[in-house]
Amino acid sequence: MSSLNQQQQKNRKLIRLLVLVSVGMFGFGFAMWPLYNVFCDITGFGGRGVQVAQASSLVTGTSDREVRITFDATVNSALPWDFKPAERQMTVRLGELSNAKYLALNTSNEAIAGHAIYNVTPPEASLYFVKTECFCFTEQLLQQGEAREMPVYFFVKTDLPANITDITLSYTFFRDSSDAGLTLTP
């Protein structure tokens, strides 16, 4: 009988440990979320390296080196807008404050708010990309049929690695998340 008890105690101890491991791994699944964010912050993935500056005074001198910027625009299917860059491409000098425009048009017959998220390719370039003003910082409300020019002010830091000669800035407009229209139903 005592050996049976010993056995049971041994089992209980092991099971407690194994249950703890399972619960820990459940937590680890969720821990992937902050870990993923840290990874993006370090590598600049998902446009995470882009810095936001309030004033153009942060420009730290210019260089003669030029880099080509390509502008890209996408609209989520839940948002009935037209959205495109005014210019597909522009060439800017490093350190020089530049201005690009996007054009948005609400093609529906109701007022809709949208929110743009952005990404920068190659990811490493986002660490050297600074925005001083962007339509993506706030929610945009377009009345029915309303068209709007949406500006973005930015510069690329002078210490951009030499192997990067092309940068793509991409925006995707989503319907404002507080709007019921966002709910994904087939």
Residue 15 or residue 164: which is nearer to another protein going by CB? 15
Task: Check binding of 140 to another protein (CB under 8 A).
Answer: no
State the Cα–Cα distance between residues 6 and 145, nearest whole angstrom.
78
Binds another protein by CB under 8 A, chosen from 5, 10, 134, 161: 10
* Amino acid in position 112: I
Binding mask 72-101 for another protein (x = CB under 8 A): ----x-------------------------
CA 34 – CA 19 distance, rounded (Å) = 24
Whether cis (ω within 30° of 0) applies to the bond prior to 122 is yes
Determine if 174 is a binding residue for another protein (CB under 8 A). Answer: yes
Among 118, 116, 106, 114, CA closest to 175: 114
- Site residues for another protein, window 27-56 (CB under 8 A)? 27-30, 32-33, 36, 40, 43, 46
List CB contacts of 39: < 8 A, sequence separation 6 or more: 45
Cis peptide before 186 (omega within 30 of 0): no
Chain position carrying tokens 């099971």: 15
Least spacing, CB of residue 73 vs another protein, in Å: 15
Please give the residue ranges that form the binding site for another protein (CB under 8 A): 1, 7, 10-11, 14-15, 18-19, 21-30, 32-33, 36, 40, 43, 46, 76, 115, 117, 123, 172, 174-175, 177, 182, 184-186
